Amino acid sequence: MRVNALQISPEMRRALVAELIKNDMFLIHEKKENKFVMDLLNMQSHGLRHAICALISVVASTVKGVEYLI
């Protein structure tokens, strides 16, 4: 997903990230913290950690995504 998202045009990437934020993918708005993301990153599964890092990378590729994560 990360590779595909970074290959699309910046306008489309912004739309993708806006949709992920709107759906509160990492439950940051719902829980008012980033504990859910940290719990996912602390799991022992290397594949899961790799996938989460990729999604964080996609979200952080736009200004709104960085604001969402911070």
What are the tens digits of pLDDT across the range 40-55?
Answer: 899 999 888 888 888 8
Angle at which helices 46-59 and 10-22 cross, to 10°: 110
Q: Which helix (H) or strand (E) holds 63?
A: helix 63-69
pLDDT digits over 7-41, tens only? 888 788 888 889 989 999 899 988 888 888 899 89
pTM of the model: 0.78
Closest among 25, 4, 23, 22 to 13, alpha carbons compared: 4
What type of residue is 66? V
User: Taking 90 as the threshold, does the pLDDT of residue 67 lie above it?
Assistant: yes
Q: Is residue 59 within a helix (H) or strand (E), and if so which, with residue range?
A: helix 46-59
Q: Is the pLDDT of residue 2 over 70?
A: no
Predicted pLDDT at 66:
92
